[in-house]
Amino acid sequence: MLDTHARKYVQPLISNTAEQLLKFGFTPNQVTVISFFIGVSSGVFFYFGLPIIAVLVLWISGFLDAVDGTMARKTKSSPWGTVMDVTFDRLVEISVILGVAFVYPEIQWALLLLSVSIIFSITVFLTVGAVSEKQGMKSFYYQAGLAERTEGFILLTLMMLLPAFVLWTTLIFLAVEVITGLQRFFEAKRILQ
């Protein structure tokens, strides 16, 4: 929801960063890979007791993830870049979930359910994108939803910074992902039948 409706407020900063990185000779795919390595370090930092650094690198990764897409639109987007982008996004999320699971083994059941809900939601999202003839700003049909990347980052941040509420934050994240998956599923039924 925030990615769809609030992006216009941060897009100037994203565009300026994209322009600068292009001037320095970076390609969108190189920025995607850099964003990935920064992002997966988040779960590692959290596991080693550095939650502030974990959150910082998570958000830097998310910012660069937005920058690489803008760079691709300013140059030439590639199907391989899209595959890397979507795959690496999930691996960054998995890194944080694993970091939290190792620090809080007593809530692994909730983190497992959260992971299942993310798989459900992303499966609907990607399948609709693959079979839909609609095109959007991205290289595939983008289904907006209650939970997009920014909402996920906010909830992952809360999971890492508020240890007393980690279970409740995880359960809220689970509910938001299930609602998003169902929202996308029923939208798919409407647009694809």
47-68: b or e for each residue (b if 16 or more CB lie within 10 Å)?
beebbeebbebbbbbbbbbbbb
Give the range of the structural domain holding residue 147, as residue numbers without chain letter.
2-192
Euclidean distance between CA atoms 49 and 40, whole angstroms: 15
What CATH number is given to the structural domain containing 90? 1.20.120.1760
pLDDT at res. 127: 87
pLDDT more than 90, % of the chain? 66
CB 152, CB 92: distance < 8 Å: no
Can you tell me the distance from the alpha carbon of 108 to that of 129, in angstroms, rounded to the nearest whole number?
31
Q: How many domains does the chain have?
A: 1
Mean pLDDT to the nearest integer, 105-113: 98
Contact, 85 vs 144, CB < 8 A?
no
In this structure, is the dihedral angle defined by the CA atoms of residues 184, 189, 190 and 193, taken in order, positive or negative?
positive
Is pLDDT above 80 for 90? yes
Q: Which two tokens stand for residue 116?
A: 């299942």
Cα–Cα dist 148/156, whole Å: 12
Distance between CA atoms of 52 and 147, rounded to whole angstroms? 23
| DSSP conformation class of 106 | G
**Residue 148 backbone dihedrals phi, psi, to 5 degrees:** -115, -165
Would the pTM count as exceeding 0.85? yes
CA distance 43 to 101: 10
**Taking the CA atoms of the chain, what radius of gyration do you get in angstroms?**
17
Task: Determine whether 132 is exposed, middle or buried from the number of CB atoms within 10 Å of its CB (0-12, 13-18, 19+).
Answer: middle
Encode pLDDT of 137-179 as tens digits.
455 566 667 777 889 999 999 999 999 999 999 999 999 999 9
In tens, the pLDDT along 35-54 reads: 999 999 999 999 999 999 99
190: confidence class by pLDDT, cuts 50, 70, 90: confident
Q: Residue 3: which of 146, 185, 175, 182 has the closest Cα? A: 146
The Cβ of residue 155 has, within 10 Å, a number of other Cβ atoms equal to 20
